[in-house]
Chain A
Amino acid sequence: MKATILVRPKPGILDPQGEAVQSSLRQLGFHVAEARVGRVIDLELDDGDGESARAELERACEQLLANPLIESYEIALDG
């Protein structure tokens, strides 16, 4: 089973990387009002059922993959 985890800076958290990307895009002529930069983590999981995998991934996000004080996360399971 594959899992994709999206980690984003929470709304309101200063994201200087996003600001730099937004300003570069504007310099290139793209009409971008805001950019936020997060992180994608692709995981290949041992076989198991989806529900327990999701519970386990939530623990993984809380403990390591995201810092809950400053980041939100989304888990997508595939297969």
Chain B
Amino acid sequence: MSDPRPTIGIVTFPGSNDDGDAALALEQLGADARPVWHAEQELPDDTAAVVLPGGFSYGDYLRCGAIARFAPVMQAVARFADDGGLVLGICNGFQVLCEAGLLPGALRPNASLEFVCRDVTLRVERTTTPFTTRVEPGQALTIPIKHGEGCYFADDRLLGELERNDQVVLRYEQSPNGSVGAIAGVVNERGNVFGLMPHPEHAVDPLLGSGSTDGALILGSLVDAARERVLTAA
């Protein structure tokens, strides 16, 4: 594995539950995964990327992600993103980023009203983001989802904007939750903040789930980009 191991901060909110899996997956892919508690005011000094993991932060009270957005660490995350830092939000992390205004759109209860927990096939629409460089254009990925509120919503105006700016990174082959445009993941306009409902961290170790390791393509891309940042800064 090529050095250095970039530091990737993994934020734990009260109610986060995929922080451990995210850390394990990123460690396996060559990063130094550093836990960051939600009450921290600052990110670790050498942070090269930040992950907001899945779970049910603050019990999903009010709306998913609505309260987590006000955690002290989120101000540091917003500053980090503003400076061009790489931020990845997975599932609940995606909801938090939308509520915080770091990503466009909102996530609503699934159209079926059911919690869906299964592998889905994803189409990668853009391979030029720091989160998708390891993916071949047009490649289909198999990655699990597990959520009750993953129905992505953007009004017509916003949707047009996302399509024009090429901000839709992932789409479901078949929408499992009623998302507009079958959208599974979007980046901000600058391309340094990415949120997705599927869980790449659950598809890295072949011993987990269905055995797909396609999640490593996304998290591995993030590790590559984070390492690049460390090397550039050095």
Contact = CB atoms under 8 A, between A and B. Distances in A.
B16 interface: no
Contacts of A70: 106, 108, 153
Given A14-B111, A16-B113, A69 B63 contact: no
Most buried by B among A13, A20, A65, A69: A69
A16 B114 CA distance: 10
B155 interface: yes
Interface string B132-170: 000000000000000000010111001000000000000
Given A13-B153, A14-B151, A67 B66 contact: yes
Interface string A64-79: 1101011000000000
Size class of B's contact patch? 10 to 19
A17 B112 CA distance: 9
B106 A67 contact: yes
Given A13-B153, A14-B151, A14-B178, A67 B111 contact: no
A69 B113 contact: no
A40 B16 CA distance: 27
Nearest to A68: B106
A16 B110 contact: yes
A28 to B, nearest CB: 18
Contact of B62 (A13, A17, A64): A64
Interface string A1-25: 0000000000001101101100000
B215 to A, nearest CB: 28
A16 B155 CA distance: 17
Contact of A13 (B66, B108, B110, B158): B108
A42 B7 CA distance: 44
17 contacts: A14-B108, A14-B111, A14-B151, A16-B109, A16-B110, A16-B113, A16-B178, A17-B109, A64-B62, A67-B63, A67-B66, A67-B106, A69-B105, A69-B153, A69-B154, A69-B155, A70-B106
